[in-house]
A and B are shown apart, each in its own frame.
Chain A
Amino acid sequence: MDKWQPGASLDTLRRRAAMLSCIREFFKQRSVLEVDVPVMGKSTVTDLNIDSIVTSVVSELGYLQTSPEYFMKRLLASGSGDIYFMGKAFRDGEIGVKHNPEFTMLEWYRCGWDDHQLMSEVAELIRLLLGGEKDIAIDVSKLSYSDCFFERLGFDPHSADLEALQLLAATLASDSWIDETRANCLDLIFSSQVEPYLSEGITIIYDYPECQAALAQISPNRAGQNVSRRFEAFVNGVEIANGYLELIDAGEQTVRLERDRKARERLKKPAVVVDQKFLAALHSGVPACAGVAIGLDRLLMGAIGVDSIDQVLAFSWLRC
């Protein structure tokens, strides 16, 4: 009964090692510096839907980092220039066929770039990693959030009434969605009505709804609607990457962090103290940049064509 053996085959582990060295070569050629920031910090993100794993060091509270973002932005503010991190990130409660509480993340920042320039680089790297040693053609499509939403559902997500979204979410899911937030209703509708119909290959979706901005800048789209300059990449319909035209305005960032912290309080989620060192770095000045994070385990799943994250990890949480 006790599974002591690894979940990934030896071939898969070799493919993983090849993937990591391919990424290092990719960034070396482009003069992007690898940085090894802490995976354990004294503060953490306030994101409403991301829970940190708490630990302690000599009776002082520590948090396993859910992404290297804050440390990396502190380096950017110190004049590091283009940087990438490849290592572990941790999220509490995320266990499933496509989730493991500890996972491998690749995150990088490009100074002076906008989100669309970074999307091209993301597509290039993902294509390279999916192809492995073979030079196979992999389709890349790029669509705005509102276009792919409209195509499947026939209405515009940015201008839709909250009540209409709640009603649709309740019909698709269960009655308890009738009083959900706009962001959650859109996520539910998107993941059940749009994601499953994304084409094979790489799909990049950009200009997410304003209410899902996280750490992205907000600006008007061509139709004059406020959207967040956030994008996601999907491989065969599975979410792989999340990127932003980074918010660098310290004042706006402070407002958002405080709003998240209060929302956590309201929902009786574990309290998180706002990371003051991160805010101090923003005040000192983070250069204009675009950044993105890729879940490498899921990318490997797409590259070798398996459905479960357990098959690409030496030891998933179930086997630890």
Chain B
Amino acid sequence: MANYSTNEFRSGLKVMLDGDPCSILENEFVKPGKGQAFSRVKLRNLKTSRVLDKTFKSGESLEGADVMDQDMQYLYTDGDFWYFMEPDTFEQHQATESAVADALPWLSEQDVCMVTLYNGSPLSVMPPNHVEIEIIETDPGLRGDTAQGGSKPAKLVTGAVVKVPLFLDQGDVIKVDTRTGEYQGRVK
């Protein structure tokens, strides 16, 4: 991979830091009037999701990371791996449990997810922003209670638990925003 110098650091650039792939979030040029210039950089470690602050001297460089984001369809799991397919080439990729961990509570077969590949293997999986999932377990619905506030926990078929309005019942399909985990509405 190419090397990138501090003046090429842009938000979104993927680089290697201490052996781990990272994504640059921010790069601030700092220069005391008479002093040496440096770059104050915020990076996200793509393996651990941890955000790091590093300060590099101007002109220092980091190796680019072989990381790319690709939309893929989730196919199935055999319990050990989760299988995803590239829609254009039908090429399949197997993701480990740690790679799918964040997406798992929302993952339904055939959903199109964003898979981050590192050296060709799935490093992390982002579920779609909005998913439609069936409620598998919740307290019985209170008919007619559609207007008032109040909510109750509902367990979804994928395993996530979300707060839903009181009128919903087991078997209802709801729309959820996976970024916030919030209920968005009932799917008719």
Contacts and interface: CB of A to CB of B under 8 A. Distances in A.
B30 A214 contact: no
- Which residue, of A48, A173, A183, A239, has the highest number of chain B Cβ atoms within 10 A? A173
Given A177-B57, A188-B55, A95 B35 contact: no
B33 interface: yes
B58 interface: yes
A47 B34 contact: yes
Interface in B1-55: 7, 28-38, 40, 54-55
A220 interface: no
B34 A176 contact: no
Nearest to B39: A96
Contact of A97 (B7, B29, B37, B54): B29
Q: Which of A93, A95, A190 has the largest count of B CB atoms less than 10 A from its CB?
A: A93
A187 B32 CA distance: 7
B172 interface: no
Interface string A171-209: 011101100100110011011100000000000000000
Interface residues of B, number: 19
A47 B34 CA distance: 8
A190 B7 CA distance: 23
A191 B29 contact: no
Contacts of A184: 35-36, 57
A183 B34 CA distance: 10
Contact of B37 (A49, A172, A176): A49
Given A96-B28, A191-B30, A212 B55 contact: no
Interface in A212-246: 212, 214, 232, 239, 242
Contacts of A190: 32
Contacts of A49: 31, 34-37
19 contacts: A47-B34, A48-B36, A49-B31, A49-B36, A50-B34, A93-B37, A93-B58, A98-B29, A99-B29, A172-B55, A173-B56, A174-B56, A176-B56, A177-B55, A177-B57, A187-B32, A188-B38, A190-B32, A239-B33
Interface string A102-128: 000000000000000000000000000
Contacts, number: 61
A249 interface: no
Contacts of A50: 34
B29 A232 contact: no
A242 B33 contact: yes
- Residue among B30, B40, B54, B60 with most chain A CB within 10 A: B30
A239 B58 CA distance: 19
A173 B54 contact: yes
Interface in B102-156: none
A94 interface: yes
A165 to B, nearest CB: 14
Given A93-B58, A188-B55, A192-B55, A173 B31 contact: no
Contact of A94 (B29, B40, B54, B56): B29
B56 A183 contact: no
Given A176-B57, A188-B55, A232 B38 contact: no
Contacts of B29: 94-99
B57 A99 contact: no
Contacts of B31: 49, 94, 96, 99
